[in-house]
Amino acid sequence: MKRRDFIQLIPPITTGLLLPENLQFYSFFNSINRKDFGNDFVWGAACAAYQVEGAWNLDGKGLSIWDTFTHKKGTIYKNQNGDIACDFYNRYAEDIALLKYLGIPNFRFSISWSRILPNGVGTINQRGIDFYHRVIDTCLENNITPWITLYHWDLPQVLEDKGGWTNREIINWFSEFVSICTKSYGDKVKNWMVLNEPMAFTGVGYFLGIHAPGKKGISNFLPAVHHAAMCQAEGARVIRTNIADAQIGTTFSCSHIDPKKAKERHYKAAQNSDALINRLFIEPALGLGYPTDTIPLLKRIEKYMQSGDEQKLKYDFDFIGIQNYTREVVKHWILNPILWSKQIPASKRKVELTEMGWEVYPEGIYYLLKKFAAYKNIPPLYVTENGAAFEDVVDDEYVHDSKRTKFIESYLRQVLNAKKEGVDVRGYFYWSFTDNFEWAEGYRTRFGLVHVDYASQKRIVKDSGFWFKKFLEG
């Protein structure tokens, strides 16, 4: 089949694409089938506002912490930033048409807080409100269901100037933002996620300082954790107040943790790491409190708690999002008196790696789904992010990314294994739909099903995107 025959099948807005002339390569990977997951299983792809939108200072948008952070020399790979990114702000219709062409029926995206509220609170930017109406309406017109993430790391800078997540007032600030969004879009959007990976944005942004806003230390980390956990529940309550029939969830970054060797001290190190990475936010939401039994240092968080907080941390979510990319192997390490553990880099373990330096370990997502499913009163689970960055080479305007295709297939197999064993997992969102700005990595690493030439903004569907299309066709 010739390229021109494919072009006739694509919506006019995407006619710049070059597509594979031979689909025989699909047969190698089609060892699992969409039908294996059931007719009601949700399939989608995901992105985040700062990583794709660009238009960082247009149409009334205020500064976010990532605008500020990336404009500081030395914080990001090659001093890159998301000022333009994938230009989704201007090209959303093209990208949504691509979603439709690839048969991806659900689209997860986030709302930029500073685009809606340039000052964090107070005056609403109507042009920001209108933009997301256009995105949502375009999704619905193309029979694509929108799933909105309310906070995907881009806090307004004016609120960070007041302490950001370390300031308890953020519970009120965030509630106002959530209320505006849900009142604006609640008649059209029924699927909502409160926070994206709170362990990541508090740990990397408020303890290690390598993500925005660049703060460091336990004195920043602990209040940020507590206030994020409070917002996680309070945000959900606001959604329920404004949208009675909403499906409300939140998402967690998770990694399966293994000890270096079968020795007690290494097992203890793995348990400590697991408590921090995998338990810190889910357990308060389930009414179990923070995992202070495993990490005594977390008892210091009580300094930031007020009367009634323990109950307010709890919320009966409609679903939980699990986000997994790799696993970690740890050993006992006396120089880390918080966890008494240290990660052993995957690069030193002679395992298959992605461009992020992460181990390809499909079994990890199976173990995590089983782990979360074992909690009492856990709601249904969705895989709200899973994907891989590999080196993509444009060859005659094609991208043959067999490693990524194999990655998706192998991880889906493990999701299916968990589902067959009784785990109530109801959906899978690939990260990410297009290549994008990958935080501290800048544009060096590419996760997308769709390749983006950042200079020209040309989109090319990768072989993995075509595999996903064929898979979704059953």
Whether pLDDT at 22 is above 50: no
337 confidence band (pLDDT: 50, 70, 90): confident
Gyration radius from the chain CA atoms: 21
CB atoms within 10 A of CB 219: 14
The amino acid at 248 = I
Whether pLDDT at 6 is above 60: no
Q: Do 73 and 81 form a contact (C-beta atoms < 8 A)? A: no
Looking at residue 384, its pLDDT comes to: 98
Using the CB atoms, write b or e for 326-336: b if 16+ within 10 Å: bbbbbbbbeee
- Copy the structure tokens of residue 269: 């190190």
Q: Percent of the chain, pLDDT > 90?
A: 91
Looking at residue 311, its pLDDT comes to: 97
The amino acid at 57 = N
Phi-psi category of 420—alpha, beta or left, where left has phi over 0 and alpha has psi -120 to 50?
alpha
Looking at residue 228, its pLDDT comes to: 98
Tell me the domains of the chain and their CATH numbers. Answer: 3-472 (3.20.20.80)
Whether pLDDT at 185 is above 60: yes
5 confidence band (pLDDT: 50, 70, 90): very low
CA distance 276 to 41: 30
CA distance 282 to 273: 15
Looking at residue 12, its pLDDT comes to: 34
242 confidence band (pLDDT: 50, 70, 90): very high
Whether pLDDT at 134 is above 70: yes
Strands (DSSP E) found in 268-318: none
Tens of pLDDT, residues 380-403: 999 999 999 999 999 988 999 999
CA distance to 49, 119, 247, 315, per residue, from 113 (Å): 9, 9, 21, 23
What's the distance, Cα to Cα, between the start and end of the chain in Å?
Answer: 20
Looking at residue 9, its pLDDT comes to: 33
Whether pLDDT at 66 is above 90: yes
Whether pLDDT at 10 is above 80: no
Tens of pLDDT, residues 163-176: 999 999 999 999 99
Whether pLDDT at 426 is above 50: yes
Tens of pLDDT, residues 439-462: 999 999 999 999 999 999 999 999
CA distance 114 to 122: 11
Q: What is the DSSP string of 59-87?
A: TTPPPBHHHHHHTSTTSSGGG--SSSTT-
- From 53, 160, 234, 385, the catalytic residue: 385
Q: Do 44 and 472 form a contact (C-beta atoms < 8 A)? A: no
CA distance 210 to 200: 11
Strands (DSSP E) found in 296-397: 319-332, 341-343, 381-385, 394-395
Whether pLDDT at 256 is above 90: yes
- From 197, 234, 328, 409, the catalytic residue: 197
What is the arithmetic mean of pLDDT over 283-306?
Answer: 97
Whether pLDDT at 115 is above 50: yes
Instruction: State yes or no: is 441 an active-site residue.
Output: no
What is the arithmetic mean of pLDDT over 245-274?
Answer: 97
Instruction: State yes or no: is 94 an active-site residue.
Output: no
Looking at residue 24, its pLDDT comes to: 40
Q: What is the DSSP string of 104-159?
A: --EEEEE--HHHH-TTSSSS--HHHHHHHHHHHHHHHHTT-EEEEEEESS--BHHH
Residue with tokens 């993430």: 149
Q: Is 31 helix (H, G, I), strand (E, B) or coil?
A: coil
Looking at residue 394, its pLDDT comes to: 93
Whether pLDDT at 53 is above 60: yes
